[in-house]
Amino acid sequence: MTLDPTSGDAPFASPDGWRPSEHELARRAARRSQSRRGMSIALVSSVVVIGALGTVVVTSSGWPVVRDTFFDVPYGLEVLPIIFDGFKLDLLLVAIASVCIAVLSMIVALVRTSRSPAAAPFRILATVYVDFFRGTPLILVILLIGFGIPALNLPKISSLDVAVLGTAAIVLTYTGYVAEVIRSGILSVHPSQRAAARSLGLSNAQTMRHVVLPQGIRRVMPPLLNDFVSLLKDVGLVSILGVTEAIQQAQIETNKSFNYTPYVVAALLFLIVTIPLTRFTDRVLATSISRQNAQGTA
């Protein structure tokens, strides 16, 4: 079957000699013009809004100064390599932190949702943990751990690099959030699914692993990815401990030159990673939904 090149994936011809009829072609033309109309409305309104905002900014009296101190392109290119070096450290910390968060939050979520009486003390512990770390501002946790642990003068632990301590603080806080997201996913799976799996002879753990978690996690994928993007940005907070990642590097450069372009460069580096990530995850999600819910009915 050949697809209609002018109308998305509507078929245009098939081996049995069929060609779209006059009225079908008219319908497709109408559909196309409707979507064209929608698109031109969207385009025009975007151009108007962006144009208006741009005009307000560019015509403001402070604009020439802002342009020179924030958008100095040659200077930006000059500091790019050193900020990029710092950014690589950010990415490394994100990679390590996300693995730790994934493992720990899964454990906390499973403990929080377990029903066995024997696990009761762990449940209480996990609840206290979540309450504490979800309720404390991340920046305070970073400061407390980053400056508190070295001050304790403990063997080994106190001599850890501040980057490690900062990352640990982020892991502790994010684990609290992510565990709750995973737990809500687990709880959203209908009890009949558990019953069906148990009646097939699957153990409690197997039911969790093969039936409940795959459905629950898929359902909370959007908030989890949201948290991942947040993590990418929040990892920059370790700069307050003096870790020379992208933001800290940008600050060092800015302090030297009194020009804020390095901050804009750092912001762009973060955007270059986060925007494609969000688009990519949108796509993954859409495919997985359409594959599972082909008709939405039997």
Interaction between residue 1 and another protein (CB under 8 A)? yes
Nearer to ligand ADP, 151 or 298 (CB): 298
Question: Residue 166 Cβ, how far from another protein at the closest point, in Å?
Answer: 42
Nearer to another protein, 10 or 154 (CB): 10
Site string for another protein, 20-39 (x = CB under 8 A): xx-xx-xx--xx--x-----
**Which of 195, 99, 115, 177 lies closest to 141, judged by CA?**
177
Interaction between residue 290 and another protein (CB under 8 A)? no
Whole-angstrom distance, CA of residue 3 vs CA of residue 11: 4
By CB under 6 A, name the one of 59, 153, 199, 295 that touches ligand ADP: 295
Site string for ligand ADP, 275-294 (x = CB under 6 A): -------------------x
Nearer to another protein, 20 or 150 (CB): 20
Residue 186: what residue type?
I
Interaction between residue 17 and another protein (CB under 8 A)? no
CB neighbour list of residue 291: distance below 8 Å, 6 or more residues apart: none
Helix/strand/coil for 291: helix
Residue 239 class from Cβ within 10 Å (0-12 exposed, 13-18 middle, 19+ buried)? buried
Nearer to ligand ADP, 205 or 294 (CB): 294
* Tokens coding 31: 């559909």
The enclosing H or E element of 13 equals strand 11-13
Cα 281 to Cα 27, 216, 224, 226, distances in angstroms: 33, 17, 11, 10
Name the site residues for ligand ADP (rule: CB under 6 A): 294-295
Name the site residues for another protein (rule: CB under 8 A): 1, 10-11, 14, 16, 18, 20-21, 23-24, 26-27, 30-31, 34, 295-298
